[in-house]
Structure 1
Amino acid sequence: MSEDNNISEFKAKDQNIVDNKELNFFEALIPVIILMGMLAYNIFFVDDQEWFGGYTNQIILLLGGIVAAIVGFFNKVSLGLMLREIWENIRSVFVPIMILFLVGALAGTWLISGVIPAMVYYGLQVLSPEIFLPASVIIAAVISIATGSSWTTSATVGIALVGIGTALGINPGMIAGAVISGAYFGDKMSPLSDTTNLAPAMAGTDLFTHIKYMAYTTVPTIIVTLIVFAIISASIDTTGNADISQILETIDATFNITPWLFAVPVAVVGLILLKTKPLVALGTGVILAIIFAVVFQPNVLENVTGSKTKTIVNSIFTDTNIPIDDSTYMANLNTQDVKAINNNENLEPLFTDGGIEKNFSNEELQHIFDNANYDKNTLDLKTESLSRLLTIDKLKQLFGAGGMNGMLWTIYLIMCAMVFGGIMDAIGALSRITKALLSIATTVFGLFASTVVSCLGLNIIASDQYLALVIPGKMFKKAYQDRGLAPENLSRTLEDSGTVTSVLIPWNTCGAYQSGVLGVGVSEYFIYAIFNWLSPFTTLVFAAFSIKIRELKNK
């Protein structure tokens, strides 16, 4: 029991859950409503979505936490209890934060060592645009099943697939959505996954019964996902083979590309398969990448900063951008040409930091020089040079990494989310909201729907997928038993709505992690994370039509 007489606490799988008799449902919703209101205002009414600057989401979460604390004070919750829950929440994400730091270092060192460029180089030759998205789903799913971790999948093959797809001219949001869909399918179905073990433990069933029963909703959902991505892949416009050949030539001229570079990611995945701790596996990946950079990419190390040591250190801790020589092609364009290009609104990003907004055919590029009266050979040379410069600009954007520093925004977001979630837990709001949802479940379908809404709500409010499994699992377990429903119904619903939707919330630890690692915002990949947002609907359809709803044998 807590020191506060109105507070009761219990632990479930290392997660502390607080119940507050003084707090009513509407009071519990006040911080949520204000948080959602501030986020909505920032999204819809602030032009650059930076109401409070570059860290707007973090500040909004802290303001939401302050509101929650005020509600707590009015309901006799001590400051000590709030601070304790905040500390417990932050402590619970210590390892994920360390993983994020290492992923930042991994991205930088894998770049300078040529590992990521090699993945892109060979991947472009194997994966065609027509099959890329469904292939990405399958690749991510296989790795995730083998490793039991969607996070590890994104940090390894996910980064490579985003690079390959971007080089092919595919929308990064689509690529990230495909990777995340496959990664979370594998995470759900892998007996090595922590959430796949946690859900049945909370519901009261065994692991393999849970996985078997979960397949009824998960397999149809991933099949639909693959079909949708196959249709998208068949219909999207990409840069074409000519542009790919230019990319391959540029990568080959910049890096020493060899299949030996794949030894680094293979070693990392191998360590994970051997049940090595993620921090050790990723740390090994960083060390190996540094060694391979020294052995295979001495010229790259020298060209980036002028010092091999400085380049290696920078790749770990801060921004790294690989210089790509474009002087040959720039020499083919005179001052008048550059002026014509910069005066063209479509090509303006070429000589700025903004990047390329679209791809251009040779016919489109030739129109830039319409007024110059060049002969055919000169026009072809200048068009080819401009096309090469566009390719180089694309690769300059692709071959850049932020190191550990690039992960700080994401880490701050996670910590602020833990502050908000910790205070909400301390004042008993999470428990109160879940109980309210449980109380309105008067039918079997209503029970499933309440579970889904509870998991979704806790992913939004608590910002942590484990709490989104633990709290509903604890609260709803008896209700399922009372209705004569087998515990695997609950465990499946927890995963279908708790595990997979966490990545759709920008400030949830999973959403923040995936967007930080893949370099694609949640808003960009949300609609394409088809498996993740479709899963809750699938489980509700099964519940509505009583499909595979198992009853207890001895009711």
Structure 2
Amino acid sequence: MLSFKQAVIPVITMAVLILLSVLFWEAPIQIALFFEIMIIIALALSWGYKWQKIEEMLFSSFKNIGNVILILFLLGMMIGLWIAVGTVPTMIYYGLQTISPKYFFILSFISTSLVSMAVGTAVGTASTIGLALISIAQTMGLNLPLAAGAIISGSYVGDRMSPVSSIAIITAHSSEANLMDMIYHMLKTAVLPYLITATAFLFIGLSNFSSLKAAADLDSLSQMLSGHFQISFWLLLPPILIILLAVLKVPTIINIALNILFSLLMGSYFTERNWSELLNIMFRGFNERTGTVFIDNILARGGLTNMLELISLIIFAVLLGGLLEKMGVLNSLLKPFLHLIKKKIHLIAVTIFSGIVSATLGCNQFLAVFLPAKMLAKNYDQMNLERKDLARALGDSGLVFSPLIPWNVNALMMTAVLGVSTIEYFPYAFFPLLMPLSNLLITYLEEKN
């Protein structure tokens, strides 16, 4: 067990390095994480850790990211195919025909929240309806970080409290709470943030916060899309299939892999591309030129190779998270404050803080839920609090806050699909930002009554 003074050093150095990297060096976050890993290794050696143990801690979390890396590669291949086949152009085309720019943000938030409740996965929601919405926003000339904020806000409604969400099930299991009791309990803290978020996006849209393209321009772009790509309702089958299989609880990797095969068949039927062209688009992404620069910029996406930069960040983040988890940094940071807990709201506040810190240091949702649950469960028992209170606090902190931490796996996957960096969409992800505050407010009112 590290002392508090020892545990706080890596936290401070990581914050300093990331700030320097973003604000002054203008270097990728990967470089900041690399130097932070070097610093922690040097500290561990000076504190008496043997290299063999450090190496074991360093790679301890790698077994947990193999599926994440594979999903990212599969998403890259699928997105490239969806563009080449005409699925994404079809979604953009019909979106331009049916969605009013003024109501785009609120419709994006509500529609993604409904889909995420049905499929139980933020990544699945963002990679289907979210991909279409961000492409439509770009075509309309809307503020992309704001659009991404609306999509992510809706996507994590279901990630947090859908009965079919894997991370929600893990949250209930880690807290030893009944899943349905936890979900009903979570509704109490979700209502106010949901209404505030919907109102904010409605107001922003109506106030013309974003620059909108003229209706004539949108009609012209629709004609250009239909001139370069096959537009058909049949081409909406791939995203419908992926949502349907997600509802049926087909594992994500199998779901996307089947969708790739289905999209290949659609491509061979609806386009004149041969298999060699389609396979190369899966690998390198869609980079063909239509003659319209604006459309080319929107559709130059996807491909396995375009995911490599994000995957390098995931690898550095997981190396760092493994070190910090196995060295017990979170336990050492919180231990001096646990004896100060006297009321329910104190314990809830500590749980929320530890969830966000775990998501920051551990770089994934699982640790953001699992570590605080195991560390603080006995405190809830000592205060005669129900485990669903613990589960709700975890769901309202590290679970929904993960996409707002640039090096967290969830944020990286959102960036991979939507093409907007975490730092850009952070201020507009209203729902995740409001959840911790809502929990504290509801807890205060419950305690007062």
Q: When the two structures are superposed, what TM-score results if normalisation uses the length of structure 1?
A: 0.78
What is aligned with 1:382?
Answer: none
TM alignment of 1:92-107, pairs within 5 A: 92-107=64-79
Query: Which residue identity is paired with 1:37?
Result: V
What is aligned with 1:359?
Answer: none
Corresponding position: 1:166 with 2:138: yes
Q: Is the 8 A contact 1:315 1:401 kept in 2?
A: no
Deviations 1:131-170 (A, max 9, x none): 1111111111111111110011111111111001111111
Q: 1:438 aligns with which of 326, 332, 338?
A: 338
Q: 1:90 aligns with which of 55, 58, 62?
A: 62
Q: 1:137 aligns with which of 103, 109, 128?
A: 109
TM alignment of 1:123-202, pairs within 5 A: 123-202=95-174
Deviations 1:283-317 (A, max 9, x none): 1111121221221121xx3xxxxxx3442122111
Q: Percent identity?
A: 30
What is aligned with 2:177?
Answer: 205
TM alignment of 1:215-294, pairs within 5 A: 215-236=187-208, 237-294=211-268
Residue 201 (structure 1) shift: 1.8
Deviations 1:245-273 (A, max 9, x none): 01110001001111110111112222222
Residue 547 (structure 1) shift: 5.9
In structure 2, the CA distance between the partners of 1:188 and 1:212, relative to structure 1 (3 Å rule), is same
504-513 vs 74-83, which moves further: 74-83
In structure 2, the CA distance between the partners of 1:516 and 1:244, relative to structure 1 (3 Å rule), is same
Please state whether the residue corresponding to 1:484 is helix, strand or coil. coil
Please state whether the residue corresponding to 1:191 is helix, strand or coil. coil
529-538 vs 478-487, which moves further: 478-487
In structure 2, the CA distance between the partners of 1:437 and 1:324, relative to structure 1 (3 Å rule), is farther
Query: Which residue identity is paired with 1:90?
Result: F
What is aligned with 2:433?
Answer: 533
Corresponding position: 1:398 with 2:298: yes
Corresponding position: 1:26 with 2:33: no
310-319 vs 461-470, which moves further: 310-319
Please state whether the residue corresponding to 1:245 is helix, strand or coil. helix
What is aligned with 2:35?
Answer: 63
TM alignment of 1:314-329, pairs within 5 A: 314-325=280-291
Please state whether the residue corresponding to 2:181 is helix, strand or coil. helix
Query: Which residue identity is paired with 1:38?
Result: L
71-80 vs 83-92, which moves further: 71-80
In structure 2, the CA distance between the partners of 1:248 and 1:118, relative to structure 1 (3 Å rule), is same
Deviations 1:328-357 (A, max 9, x none): xxxxxxxxxxxxxxxxxxxxxxxxxxxxxx
Query: Which residue identity is paired with 2:442?
Result: F
In structure 2, the CA distance between the partners of 1:121 and 1:494, relative to structure 1 (3 Å rule), is same
Structure 1 CA distance for aligned equivalents of residues 410 and 288 of structure 2? 29
What is aligned with 1:311?
Answer: 277
Q: 1:413 aligns with which of 287, 292, 313?
A: 313
Q: Is the 8 A contact 1:154 1:179 kept in 2?
A: yes
Query: Which residue identity is paired with 1:411?
Result: I
Structure 2 CA distance for aligned equivalents of residues 66 and 248 of structure 1? 51
Deviations 1:77-127 (A, max 9, x none): 333333233333111011011000000001100000000000000111111
Please state whether the residue corresponding to 2:249 is helix, strand or coil. coil
Structure 2 CA distance for aligned equivalents of residues 436 and 502 of structure 1? 25
In structure 2, the CA distance between the partners of 1:182 and 1:421, relative to structure 1 (3 Å rule), is same
Corresponding position: 1:516 with 2:416: yes
Query: Which residue identity is paired with 2:268?
Result: V
Following TM superposition, where does structure 1 have runs of at least 4 consecutive aligned residues deviating by more than 6 angstroms?
Answer: none
Structure 2 CA distance for aligned equivalents of residues 203 and 457 of structure 1? 18
Residue 479 (structure 1) shift: 1.0
Residue 211 (structure 1) shift: 0.2
Deviations 1:465-500 (A, max 9, x none): 111111111111111221222111111000000110
Structure 1 CA distance for aligned equivalents of residues 447 and 99 of structure 2? 38
Q: Is the 8 A contact 1:82 1:426 kept in 2?
A: no
Structure 2 CA distance for aligned equivalents of residues 508 and 121 of structure 1? 33
Structure 1 CA distance for aligned equivalents of residues 10 and 175 of structure 2? 29
Structure 1 CA distance for aligned equivalents of residues 393 and 51 of structure 2? 35
What is aligned with 2:400?
Answer: 500
Q: Is the 8 A contact 1:32 1:64 kept in 2?
A: no
Structure 1 CA distance for aligned equivalents of residues 243 and 107 of structure 2? 19
CA RMSD in angstroms comes to 1.6
Structure 2 CA distance for aligned equivalents of residues 235 and 161 of structure 1? 20
Please state whether the residue corresponding to 1:500 is helix, strand or coil. helix
Q: 1:36 aligns with which of 8, 12, 15?
A: 15
Please state whether the residue corresponding to 2:446 is helix, strand or coil. coil
Q: Is the 8 A contact 1:217 1:539 kept in 2?
A: yes
Residue 548 (structure 1) shift: 9.2
Query: Which residue identity is paired with 2:50?
Result: S
Structure 2 unmatched runs, 5+: none
Please state whether the residue corresponding to 2:407 is helix, strand or coil. coil
TM alignment of 1:5-20, pairs within 5 A: 20=1
What is aligned with 2:444?
Answer: 544
Q: Is the 8 A contact 1:68 1:427 kept in 2?
A: no
246-255 vs 538-547, which moves further: 538-547
Q: Is the 8 A contact 2:401 2:432 kept in 1?
A: yes
Query: Which residue identity is paired with 1:288?
Result: F
User: Of the two, which has the highest radius of gyration?
Assistant: 1
